[in-house]
Each structure stands twice: as C-alpha cells, then as structure tokens.
Structure 1
Amino acid sequence: MKKLFLLAAFVIGATFYNQAEAQTISDNALGLRFGGGDGVGAEISYQRAVGTNNNRLELDLGWRDNSDYDAFKLTGIYQWVWNIEGGFNWYAGAGAGLLGVDDTRFNDRDGDDGTYLFLAGNVGIEYDFDIPLLISLDVRPEFGFFSDNDVLNEFSPDIALGVRYQF
C-alpha cells in the first residue's frame, strides 16, 4: 500500500511539474502570413490568446490588386494549440471569413463580382523562438458558399508560411 501511495504521489507530481513547465503561447502576435493556392496572397495576421488553455483567435486580412481582379479577404479562426516539445507547437482550428471580389477582366460578364462567405479550417506547426519571433507553416482548407459562380463555391486549400512578432 505504501508503494502504491508513493507511485500515485510521483505520477501526480510529475503531471503538475510537466504542466507547469509546458510552453505557453504569447498574449499577442502580429505579422504576415504568406499564402498561396486560390488565396489572395500575403495577409496581415494578428493572433490573440484567449483563456488559459493555450487557445487563441487569429484574424487575417489580405488583399490583391492586379489587372484581372481586385479582392480582399478577412478570416477569423479559433485555434487550439498543443506543445510538441520545447518551442515546437502544433495547432488546429475552425472559423469563417468574408471574400470581396471585383473582377476587372470581363466587366463582370461572368458574375464574379460580389461579397461571399466561406468556412475555413486550419492545421499547422509552429516554432516559438527564445526571441519574440514565431514562424509557422499551415494548411487552411476553405469552402465558399452563397455564390452563383461554381469556382467560388469549391473547396480551396491555402498553404502558408507565417512570420509573426510576439508581444
């Protein structure tokens, strides 16, 4: 019985020690998310910690202005963050966004102009340096809806590299 009590005390102590030593995320991070795929390209990215369980809210704003179309994209994602080891974390999240498109190629003959809603998921890995720098690589699948255009209703993966300053 004495050995069982000591074993239980050891396991409980080790659990609390590991949780006390676990990596915590920064309260705020601001930077850029360099995306690709069908996204609008680079986005200004802001992360804000919520709660005490390494959860956060990420807000991204991107825009593109070229000869084919003008577009903006605003995305909000709630993320759960888990420590792998040391400064390495992985995260997953879900959210939604707003996409505004002004097609300049065909004077809106194909009906792409407008504002659309989309749902988004997010899975990624990040490294939190000892200096206030956070680098991440993630995949954000997006699914647009409420559009007459089939292209804007389709699944669209967005792979991105993020570089953020933490404060």
Structure 2
Amino acid sequence: MKKLVLLAVFVIGATFYNQAEAQTISDNAIGVRFGGGDGVGAEISYQRALGTNNNRLELDLGWRDNSDYDAFKLTGLYQWVWNIEGGFNWYAGAGAGILGVDGQRGDGFDDDGTYLFLAGDIGIEYNFDIPLLISLDFRPEFGFFSDNDVLNEFSPDIALGVRYQF
C-alpha cells in the first residue's frame, strides 16, 4: 500500500511539474503556410492566443490567379496546443472556411461560385528561442453546398508553416 501511495504522489508531482514547466504560446504569430492540396497554394497565416490555456485562433487567407481560374480561400480554426518538451508542441483543431472560385476551363464546365467547408487540423511545431515558429500540419477539409462533386469531396492538405512571433 505504501508503494502505491508513493507512486501516486510521484505521478501527481510529475504532472504538476510538467504543467509548471510547459512553455506558453506567443500572443501573436504571422507568416506563411506553404500547402496546396486544395489548389489554392500558399496562404498568409495569423495566429492569436486565446486566454491562458494555450488555446489559439488561426486565420489563413490564400488566393490564386491563373489562366484556368481565380480563387480565394479563408479558413478559421480553433486550436488546442500541448507542449511535448522544450520548444516542441503539438496541436489539434477544428474550424470552417469559405472558398470563392471564378473560372472557366474552356470546356463548357463552369466552376464559378462560393462554397463552404469544414476543416480539422493536427500538427507539430517548434518554437525557437528567437521569434520564429515552424510547423508541419495535416488539414482535412470537407466541402459541401456545391453543385460540383469535386468541391463536395474530402480534400487533404499537408503544409509547412513559417511564422514570426510577437
């Protein structure tokens, strides 16, 4: 019984020690998220800390202008952030977004419209001693409310993020 009590005290103490040593996230971070699984490409990314629980809001804006179509994409995600060790964190989140497409492929198929999607997010990041944050994440997106079956489907997106923290 004595060993069980000592083990419980050790586990509880280690938990509180890890929480006390856990690194907090920065109040703001802005940069670029290099992805492109959805056809929009790189996105301008902004993160804002919410409260004191290492939660944050991430907003990403991407656009594309080429001969086939013009598009913009705005995504908002709520993220929960957990410290692994030192500057390493992992995070998960959920959110939604809007996609606007203006295009004509020349084959009579018109993709014009505004579409909604739901998104998830899971990733890992490293917070350097300088105000630099690098991340790698996976963002599955599920489009809906579209006449176009391609835009109603699952769209995976893997991206590398580079952000300046302030």
TM-score normalised by the chain length of structure 1: 0.89
Residues 1:32 and 1:3: Cα distance change in structure 2 (over 3 Å): same
The offset of 1:104, in angstroms, is 3.2
1:4-153 matches, within 5 Å, as 12-105=12-105, 112-153=111-152
Structure 1, residues 123-150: CA drift from partner, whole Å, max 9, x if none?
1111110110000001111011000000
Residues 1:124 and 1:39: Cα distance change in structure 2 (over 3 Å): farther
Q: State the distance in 1 between where 2:12 and 2:48 align.
A: 31
Stretches of structure 2 lacking an aligned partner (at least 5 in a row):
none
Q: Tell me, yes or no, if the aligned pair for 1:39 and 1:158 is still in contact at 8 Å.
A: no
The offset of 1:85, in angstroms, is 1.1
Q: State the distance in 2 between where 1:20 and 1:162 align.
A: 27
Q: State the distance in 1 between where 2:156 and 2:2 align.
A: 56
TM-score normalised by the chain length of structure 2: 0.89
Could you tell which deviates more after superposition, 17-26 or 150-159?
17-26
**What secondary structure is seen at the aligned counterpart in 2 of 1:134?**
strand
The offset of 1:94, in angstroms, is 0.5
Percent pairwise identity: 92
Matched length = 163
**What secondary structure is seen at the aligned counterpart in 1 of 2:151?**
helix
Residues 1:26 and 1:39: Cα distance change in structure 2 (over 3 Å): farther
The offset of 1:114, in angstroms, is 0.8
The offset of 1:36, in angstroms, is 1.8
Stretches of structure 1 lacking an aligned partner (at least 5 in a row):
none
| CA RMSD, Structure 1 to Structure 2 (Å) | 2.0
